[in-house]
Amino acid sequence: MPEECLQTQREAIAEEQHFADFAYANLDRQIAGYTKQLERTRGRGASGTPAARSERDSFAGHYEDNITRLKTVENRLILGSLEFDSGSRTHIGRTTLRDPRQNIILTDWRAPQCEAFYRATPVDRQGVTRRRHIQTRFRTVVGVEDELLDTSSKTAEALPLTGEGALFAAMNRARDGRMGDIVSTIQAEQDRIIRSPLQGILVVQGGPGTGKTAVALHRAAYLLYTFRAQLENSGVLIIGPSPQFLRYIERVLPSLGESGVVSRTVFELLPGIRADHTDGEEAAALKGNGIWKKICARAVRQILQRPLTHAVAFRVSGKTVSLRPHEVARAAERARRSGKPHNEARNIYAKTLVTLLAEKLAARLETDLKSHEWIYTDIASDPQIRREINLHWLPASPLWLLEHILARPALFAQIAPELSPRQRKLLYRAKGSGVSRADIAILDELAMHLGPLTDNCEQRRRELAASEEKNLDAYIGDTMSAMGLGGGIVSARTIAQRHRPAARYTSTAQRAAEDRSWTYGHVVVDEAQELTEMQWRMIFRRNPKHSMTVVGDLDQRTAGAPKGGWQDLLGEKDHSLSVQKLSVSYRTPATILNYAAQKMRGLGIAVDPIRAARDIPNSLREITADPGADLSALRKTVKDTVAGQLRYLDGEYGTGLGTVAVIAPKSLSGQLKFPSSDARVRFVTPQGAKGLEYDVVILLGEKEIAENAPGDLYVALTRATRHLVIIRRRAGHTRGQCG
């Protein structure tokens, strides 16, 4: 970022901070006003007629609700602004605010006049010249990102721009036919993706620097606004490859007030289960294979639903009753026919057998079962009977069952004949060994079959809670009736809501994140080319309507990732896909893109061709380290190169700005890492860099990365937006100058 762009950004942040101070002053004024009115209302005391007291309570509730509402939106109050062709400007936020003269200074994002903030595109501008996203941390503006929707007008040329808007403006100002064509192509492709229908699976295929993630997130914002009634109660799930990536997209995704967006990695989709290690490449690939669909179903049936092999006799109340194999089989079949998961169906199975044994005991006692319900209690509480019933329909958690399988080689062979002995040995692990990332999708599959593990105490607690809520409504209704209150001013339901405890969850996003069975209205999946068939099954369970935006690049697949096209990757053949391609890279310099494509051709791989919108002089440099140099000498070369690139960024962007990534294979990365007081320097593997971009990339271990996974090399080569420096430990030459 040249100094002039940096200065523009500083001025934009200062401008928006001035507005933020004004907006927060009015927010505080409104809160203070409602607080004063609440105190005045409460000061009237409890005297007066029942109708007057009811009216006072109603006003007090109104003031309390408004105070709570305004305090809730304090963080990230301001979302952005729209600059229209007419020259007018509208600031958009999480609620509407007025100044002391009652002029609107901030408009609620749900208002009709804010529609263009979420729906306008360069193809359909809706009268918007510039759209600005404003990032805040509490009351401080920390970032501004501009989108220039009208690149042709003279008004647009005069606007100060930051971020990607500045990049597009610069491209347009080039004024040559090629650049104008590129801008038009980008705008048309993005518009087509953003406005695609909500239903169905839209695949966005795009190479490095094509902005596929950003356009997918704009699509999410467009859908959340356009289909708000459909999505506000179900939410939108965004799946990214890493926590670092999710933190990055939180900056890019336009804030949507109370939108119900949940962002997770695929390894965080199972509430209450946390992966603590990563499997080896082959083991992870095996666990991602779709054969686990059969293995999981078989495990539940053969391990937890065991048939009774011979009749068992019990002595109860001085009489003998027997349980026979066909009776257990019939009870099990009845439970399975219910369609409920294993743990929930267990109640049907157990009640069927308890009733059967109670009828047998009543017959032996020559008494009427309906008149002597103690017989049920005697049967259900008998330790031997309970043990026998449990043995043939065991309650279990997904984690217990998976550990039980993997820790017992003989049982594993019986449950998973599709796997070879060598493969099963590879997956063996002792109980208590923790949960790997690749286990999560298998655990989710098992959770689907098992259902929640709810004991009788938990079930009773839920029933009591429901009963207490019903009784509270009834009690308040009776009390109001006796006192002659109500009359439409306030209802029993309103007062009950004020007296019951606060709900545990306060938003759609919170409820969805804690509920494994939650189904989302739409799902956005980034870096989707990496997902296994089992992971896709996990995602489809959370979106049975198959309303998805799937983003990725098949050329950037890492080692162990599934092969084939998008239809193959999604795991099932009955999905109708719409594949949209982004053909222009406007983030990555042409020299770097061409070099990456050339390297891939040398490995026998033809990557999807993309056009580069720009180039940067001397963006590629190759350094040859002394082949005989030891590790400390190589580390010094890296350290010196990093220092040179930091000086370049200081001169280009301003002191302390920009990012430098040292990308190396795992075997080398830890050894090369050196202490750095500069927070701009990151040491990452190719997998860790996936989906991210850096101003400068310093790459080592090019050959090792290529041998392990060509897709990883393509990722590593294309992360830089300014400079790529390749360090090799072999004879060669140095090309280019950068930094």
What is the tens place of the pLDDT at every residue in 18-48?
A: 999 999 999 999 999 999 988 888 777 666 6
Is 393 in contact with 335 (CB distance < 8 Å)?
yes
Query: By percentage, how much of the chain surpasses pLDDT 90?
Result: 41
Residues 6 or more apart whose Cβ sits within 8 Å of residue 558: 530, 686, 687, 690, 709, 711, 712, 715
Higher-pLDDT residue of 477 and 312 is 312
Q: How far apart are CA 655 and CA 657, in angstroms?
A: 6
- Domain ranges, ordered by start, for the chain: 3-173, 201-269+516-584, 281-301+397-450, 306-391, 456-508, 590-728
Task: Note the pLDDT of residue 402.
Answer: 96
Q: What is the pLDDT of residue 393?
A: 94
Contact between 91 and 156 (Cβ < 8 Å): no
**Residue 214 confidence (pLDDT):** 79
Residues 718 and 114: their CA atoms lie apart, in Å, by: 37
**pLDDT value at residue 109:** 81
| pLDDT above 90 (res 424) | yes
All residues at 6 or more sequence positions from 724 whose CB lies less than 8 Å from its CB, including other chains: 592, 595, 619, 620, 621, 696, 697, 699, 717
Token pair 């920009």: residue: 658
Asked if pLDDT for residue 259 goes beyond 60, the answer is: no
In whole angstroms, give the CA distance from residue 578 to residue 596.
28
CA–CA gap between residue 405 and residue 383 (Å, rounded): 28
C-alpha distances out from residue 726 to 431, 477, 738, Å: 44, 76, 12
Measured CA to CA, the distance from residue 270 to residue 539 in angstroms comes to 11
pLDDT at 168 over 80: no
Cα separation, 384 vs 498, whole angstroms? 49
Q: Where does residue 720 rank: exposed (0-12), middle (13-18), buried (19+ CB within 10 A)? A: buried
> Is the distance from CB of 70 to CB of 95 less than 8 angstroms?
yes
CA distance 300 to 506: 36
For the 590-728 domain, the top CATH level (class) is: alpha beta
Tens of pLDDT, residues 596-622? 999 999 999 888 888 888 888 999 999
Phi, psi of 643 (to 5 degrees): -60, -40
- What 3-state class would DSSP assign to 345? helix
- Own/partner contacts of 500-509, CB < 8 Å, gap of 24 or more, are 500/469, 500/472, 507/258, 507/260, 508/232, 508/233, 508/234, 508/235, 508/258, 508/260, 509/235, 509/259, 509/260, 509/261, 509/262
Continuous segment of H or E residues that includes residue 202: strand 201-206
Amino acid residing at 630: D
- 211-229 tens-digit pLDDT: 888 788 888 878 887 888 8
Q: What is the pTM of this model?
A: 0.76
Please list, in sequence order, all residues whose beta carbon lies within 8 angstroms of the beta carbon of residue 490, skipping any fewer than 6 positions away. Answer: 54, 57, 58
- Which pLDDT does position 366 carry in this prediction? 86
Give the CATH number of domain 201-269+516-584; options: 3.40.50.300, 1.20.1090.10, 1.10.10.2160, 3.30.300.30.
3.40.50.300
Q: Among the residues of 208-341, which ranges form H helices? A: 212-226, 228-231, 243-252, 281-288, 292-299, 325-337
Give 3-state DSSP helix, strand, coil % of the chain, rounded to 5: 50, 15, 35
305 contacts 333 by C-beta, under 8 angstroms: no
Burial pattern 305-344, b for ≥16 Cβ within 10 A else e, equals: beebeeebebebeeeebebeeebbeebbeebeeeeebbbb
Task: Indicate if the pLDDT at residue 483 is higher than 50.
Answer: no
Alpha-carbon distance 362 to 381, whole Å? 16
Residue 686 near residue 715, CB atoms below 8 Å = yes
Whether the per-residue pLDDT at 459 is higher than 60: the answer is no
What distance, in Å, lies between the first and last C-alpha atoms of the chain?
15
Is the distance from CB of 77 to CB of 106 less than 8 angstroms? yes
Which of these ranges, 148-152, 345-349, 427-431, has the smallest mean pLDDT? 148-152
pLDDT tens column, 651-688: 887 788 889 999 999 888 777 777 777 888 999 999 88
Contact 447, 299 (CB under 8 A): no
Judge if 201-269+516-584 and 590-728 fold alike in CATH terms. Answer: yes
Structure tokens at 576: 């109708």
CA distances from 516 to 538, 670, 737 (A): 10, 37, 53
Q: 89 - beta bridge partners? A: 83
State yes or no: pLDDT of 346 exceeds 80.
yes
Q: CA 205, CA 565: separation in Å to the nearest integer?
A: 11
CA 92 to chain centre: 25
Kindly state the greatest CA–CA separation across the chain.
101
Give, for 323, the enclosing helix (H) or strand (E).
strand 319-323
Q: What is the pLDDT of residue 174?
A: 45
Cα separation values, 105 from 21, 77, 95, 101, Å = 12, 12, 10, 10
